[in-house]
Chains A and B, each alone.
Chain A
Amino acid sequence: MYVDELYRNLFKNVQMATPSPPVLCNSYDECSSYLFPGPASLIIPTPVYISNFSDADAIQVYGSASVQIDYWKPNVSDQWSSADCRIWGSNESAIQICIGSQDYLISGTFTAFVQFINIEV
């Protein structure tokens, strides 16, 4: 399952992400930052199959639109209301994700049922 593979290994996926110096979170716990310039497979028309330069072993992209995301663990837990949360699942298993934002700062919590696990980001 493509999404399943991606979210598990997103930060180790060398086609999608590359570590980058944090912009904002240097003073927080568990600070890390990644730049996502986008996979080369999204370059269309694709340059991979250009055959008139067989010695070329690299694709150079200029001015690629990229997203950099700083991740850190907040020092204080947020208070969540039901309006901040969504629950997805069946009668066998379910997950709850709560998301809050303040300007460009995003916070979230993740709960999986049957056993109760609560993780905050």
Chain B
Amino acid sequence: MAIFRRTSDVVYSRLNLSIISVSNISAPVPYNITPSDFFAALENFFGGDIATGAYFDPVTANAVFLGILSSALTDSSIGLAVSDGLGILRGLLTLPLIFFQPTWLGSNAPGYNDTTVTAGLPPDVYISVSLSQSHIHVLIPRWTIILYISTLLTIYICCVVCLSTSLFIQPPHTTSYEIFDFASMVCVPTAADASAAQLLSGLRTKGSVVLRKELKNEAIFIRDITLRGQATAAPDAEQHEPVTVTGITVRK
């Protein structure tokens, strides 16, 4: 691990003292701590090195703490992973940095109930503090705005292109006379009804004006043929609705 000193502006929750945000972090400055400093700090937790002295009395706080620590790593029933042990070791090497600072366990550390600023501490532990009221804002990342606008613009441009293209697509040729439009599309000239079918099929690509001119000398008969469904004996049987078929007869 590597240790750096920095300064930062920190916002804490007044409710639960959790760190809400950190800003204005200064450039990191490497911080040297020797192993002997670490061991001196850890001996405050664990007591003396048993390699150079006697074993702890098992009923002392140091021995109980060590028992908890070693059993946490050796008790298979807890199911501790090696990564957990790594976290414990990192925590043990980090805690001295937090505990043994001038404002906590230092020889001139202020008391929690002090109402005045303690003098004689290192200059970098004197800070200014303000109370503030936090407001919750939704901060939308710039990239989401760019992505959203780009997507919308793409869809809009596609719509405009599709609509413009559709204007140039020739629709089916129609006239004001729907029945003739239909008949002209479906009529296939045969030998038997060559005259009428040929006349109607020849009207496929003509407009209303041409249609009127072409047919002005023709006699056209339009009739409806109604086919009724046959009644059945069963009272709940389905009744067939009348079917109307429109027929066209052209006579020259």
**A residues engaging B (CB < 8 A)?**
1, 3-4, 6-8, 10-11, 14-18, 20, 23-25, 30, 35-48, 50, 53, 55-73, 82, 84, 86-95, 97, 99-101, 103-110, 112-115, 117, 119, 121
Contacts and interface: CB of A to CB of B under 8 A. Distances in A.
B89 interface: yes
A57 B45 CA distance: 35
B127 A69 contact: no
The 5 closest A-B pairs by CB, nearest first: A7-B91, A104-B30, A56-B131, A88-B46, A14-B18
Contact of A44 (B35, B43, B97, B114): B114
A76 to B, nearest CB: 15
B56 A89 contact: yes
Given A65-B125, A100-B35, A112 B8 contact: no
A87 B50 contact: yes
Nearest to A41: B17
Nearest to B20: A58
Interface stretch (B58-66, B202-210, B232-240): B58-66
A7 B4 CA distance: 20
B8 A87 contact: no
A66 B28 CA distance: 10
Most A Cβ at <10 Å: residue of B17, B20, B31, B117 = B17
B5 A94 contact: no
B86 interface: yes
B89 A121 contact: yes
Interface stretch (B103-111, B138-146, B165-173): B103-111
Contacts of B218: none
Contact of A61 (B63, B69, B87, B127): B127
Contacts of B17: 15, 39-41, 48, 59
B39 interface: yes
B11 interface: yes
Contact of A68 (B4, B103, B114): B4
Nearest to A82: B51
B12 A40 contact: yes
A36 B90 CA distance: 13
A114 B93 contact: no
B22 A37 contact: yes
Contacts of A108: 1, 89, 93
A34 to B, nearest CB: 8
Contacts of B246: none
Contacts of A103: 30, 32
Given A62-B129, A99-B93, A44 B7 contact: no
B80 to A, nearest CB: 9
A67 B68 contact: no
Given A36-B97, A90-B57, A90-B67, 18 more contacts: A4-B65, A10-B94, A15-B16, A16-B19, A35-B6, A39-B17, A63-B9, A63-B127, A64-B7, A64-B10, A65-B5, A66-B6, A88-B66, A101-B35, A104-B2, A106-B33, A110-B73, A115-B74
Contacts of B4: 23, 67-70, 104
B65 A113 contact: no
Contacts of A3: 45, 65, 95
A97 to B, nearest CB: 7
Of listed B3, B55, B72, B132, residue having the most chain A CB within 10 A: B3
